[in-house]
């Protein structure tokens, strides 16, 4: 299993169920990395998508404790205990955890690779991702070139769990 996330300098990832900033190159990278793959996400993340609909050409597995919750075009999973059985039909490398904060935190130990968009700025945030630079089990294996869009600098980095 992999994960993909954009973080600021404080490893913030969101505020009020929104991204901290919109970088079109990050959206394109997210699309390129996840296209044709399986996405594991929480209900709030699904509801943050345009029209609260799943993203095209990807399989969505939505974690929610709410057994009454319904969403079109997704597979619902009501507990972390159910998740392995749901994911058993897919190759491990084809699975991407895409948020939100509690989903990342719970599934991080099971992930092998983390695709991190590092944003070189600080934003007000209420949701954070664990700082992989402080986790000895994670290593930065690929440092992306620093790019800039609308005055915001960022890089596409890859971390791998030892």
Cross-sheet strand order for the sheet of 12-15? 18-19, 12-15, 127-128
Residue 124 confidence (pLDDT): 97
- Structure token digits, residue 135: 């986790």
* pLDDT at residue 108 in the model: 98
What is the per-residue pLDDT across 22-41, written as a single tens digit (0 to 9) for each?
999 999 999 999 999 999 99
Closest by CA position to 74, among listed 32, 103, 45: 45
Categorize the per-residue pLDDT at 96 as very low, low, confident or very high, splitting at 50, 70 and 90. Answer: very high
Beta 152-161 vs 147-149: how paired, if at all?
A: antiparallel
How many CA atoms lie within 13 Å of 156's alpha carbon, on the beta-carbon side? 13
Q: Which of 19, 14, 62 is nearest to 38 (CA)?
A: 62
Which domains are seen in the chain, by residue range? 2-161 (3.40.430.10)
Sign of CA dihedral 77, 81, 87, 89: negative
Q: Is 151 helix (H, G, I), strand (E, B) or coil?
A: coil
Query: Distance (Å, rounded) from C-alpha 98 to C-alpha 39?
Result: 6
Q: Which residues contact 45 (CB under 8 A, 6 or more apart)?
A: 98, 99, 100, 103
**Percent of the chain scored above 70 by pLDDT?**
100
Mean pLDDT of the chain: 97
pTM: 0.96
Q: Measuring CA to CA, which residue among 103, 56, 51 is closest to residue 77?
A: 103
Compute the average pLDDT of residues 62-88: 96
- Which phi and psi angles does 81 have, rounded to 5°? -65, -30
Structure confidence by residue, pLDDT tens digits, 45-59: 999 999 999 999 999
Q: Over the stretch 126-156, which tens digit does the pLDDT of each residue have? A: 999 999 999 999 999 999 999 999 999 999 9
**Residues 66-92, mean pLDDT to the nearest whole number:** 95
* Cα-based distances in Å from 59 to 51, 52, 135: 17, 15, 30
């Amino acid at each position: 299993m992999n994960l993909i996330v954009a973080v600021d300098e404080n490893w913030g990832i969101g505020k009020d169920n929104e991204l901290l900033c919109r970088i079109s190159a990050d959206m394109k990278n997210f699309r390129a990395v996840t296209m044709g793959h399986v996405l594991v996400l929480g209900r709030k993340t699904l509801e943050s998508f345009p029209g609260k609909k799943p993203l095209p050409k990807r399989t969505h597995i939505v974690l929610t404790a709410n057994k009454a919750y319904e969403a079109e075009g997704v597979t619902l999973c009501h507990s972390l205990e159910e998740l392995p059985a749901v994911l058993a039909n897919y190759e491990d490398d084809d699975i991407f955890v895409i948020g939100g904060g509690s989903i990342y935190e719970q599934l991080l130990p099971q992930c092998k690779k983390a695709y991190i968009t590092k944003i070189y700025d600080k934003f007000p945030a209420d949701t954070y991702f664990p700082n992989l630079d402080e986790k000895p089990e994670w290593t930065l294996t690929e440092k992306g070139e620093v790019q800039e869009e609308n005055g915001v600098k960022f890089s596409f980095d890859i971390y791998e769990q030892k």
